[in-house]
Amino acid sequence: MNLSQTPKHIKVVIKTISAQSFLKKRLLSLGLSVGKEIEVTEMSLQKNTIKIALGFSAIALRMEEAQMIEVEVVA
């Protein structure tokens, strides 16, 4: 499952990030890396932007970026 398919308010763990190096670095510096626990908290009406919670911060992502992030539900 990738992050764009993740329902709201379900805790997931990042498995892989399949972005090009520039975007990958950017996501990393925002705190998104493999093994991090995140949760989708909001989704825009047209479903092209999502808001995710990571620790004490919130990050907004485009749907295309969310599709690059492969996640797994926390058991």
Residue ranges binding another protein (CB under 8 A): 22, 25-26, 28-31, 55-57
CB of 16 to another protein, least distance (A): 19
How far apart are alpha carbons 4 and 71 in whole angstroms?
10
- In sequence order, which residues have a C-beta less than 8 Å from that of residue 42 and are 6 or more positions away? 8, 50, 51
CB of 7 to another protein, least distance (A): 25
CB of 28 to another protein, least distance (A): 7
Nearer to another protein, 5 or 41 (CB): 41
How far apart are alpha carbons 6 and 36 in whole angstroms?
15
